Structure 1
Amino acid sequence: MKATDAELTALVIATKNSAAFGELVRRHQALVRSMLHRMCRNHALADDLAQDTFIRAFEKIGSFKGSGSFKSWLCSIAYTEFLKSARKRKSADRVLEKFKADVEDTEAPRDMGNVVDLDRALATLKEEERAVVVMCYSCGMSHSEAAEATGMPLGTVKSHVNRGRAKLQAYFAHAETGAEVTV
């Protein structure tokens, strides 16, 4: 019989058993990587953030009280790592902008044909909307779990999910007709 996440977590807390934590990593790494990739739209960065998430989770495993699911607790850590990374990137981008002032930016070529890319659609959402939409639809989390993971109030999560879903529907509706998308 397979041990539950709660049993493995208790074993890790009590004994710092690396094999038990390794099993938790194996169970949840695809979910964490997928969530982070959808949020940051960069495979390499998502892998780095996932690694940071699991390191942080091992360090903080004693703070897991079992009141929520291990998955939502882990996604909360992943979301925090994503936010820290985003703040660092924004700071670095501001510095780079000072040096690129004379360089003319060109628009990236658009995809040809009727192919619509979900990642491109998700990129049109605000950061908070994208985070909770990915958690709820891609990772299968409930609104309550997403609220727990992000630290946002449940009503705010529901609003972000509804707005994000409406924007995605509009994006895909416009993409089907070939019209310019403005969300």
Structure 2
Amino acid sequence: MSDADRYRLQWAVERAVHEELRAQFGKGAVVMRSIGAGLSSNMPDPVDPVQGIDVAIRTVRQAERLLDRYVRQARALGRSWKQIGEALDLDMIDGDPAERAFEYVTAEPDRFDSRRMTWRCGSCDRLISDYGPYTGPSDSEEGHTDSCIRHRAEIAAQERLWAEIDEHDGEAVENEWRCQE
């Protein structure tokens, strides 16, 4: 993301928070304040910073819900955990970006359960329990129909990758078994 895109997004979020402050607390809930240090520029700020905190954290929680929805949609359409990790900027963190992505978007399970995410498959229209990128799709995605085209393509792609790894005597192969629809 470029600096210009980052600033544009920052201002869009700030405008959304300010609009919500005005909607909840009236037009006077946001005022123009000096940016300080004797500078003549002003910027909008909440009159009551605690109200600003309240609205900002609710905005963050709404964004997290939106993120969850988009991740489920991406999985339903056959996008890999690695692709999701790259979109989350998790490819810059140590470890496998696919595993980091799955761990980022799923809750820590209680001691009687496993970490998982559910989503509706875009191919077979079944509710899938996804246990992450740790094993292949035949072991990590429960709920597909036997005739699910997406799931069968992922399994075939994984088998091709394993065959390629076997051909290279187990050396790491920079490839990924997820299909792309």
TM-score, normalisation: structure 1: 0.24
Q: Which has the higher contact order (CA 8 A, sep 6+)?
A: 1
Q: Which has the larger radius of gyration?
A: 2
Higher strand fraction (1 or 2) = 2
Higher helix fraction (1 or 2) = 1
